[in-house]
Amino acid sequence: MQKQVDDFISQFKTGYFSPLGQMARLTEEMGELAREISHHYGDKPKKSSEKPRSVEEEAGDVLFVLLALANSLEIDMSEAFTGAIEKYKIRDANRFERKENAE
Query: Would you kindly state where each structural domain of the chain is located, as residue ranges?
Result: 2-76
| Tens digit of each residue's pLDDT (9 = 90 or more) over 60-89 | 999 999 999 999 999 999 999 999 999 999
Which residues touch 91 (CB under 8 Å, ≥6 apart)? Answer: none
Record: fold of 2-76: Helix Hairpins (1.10.287)
Question: Which carries the bigger pLDDT value, residue 40 or residue 83?
Answer: 83
* 17 contact partners, CB below 8 Å, separation of at least 6: 25, 68, 72
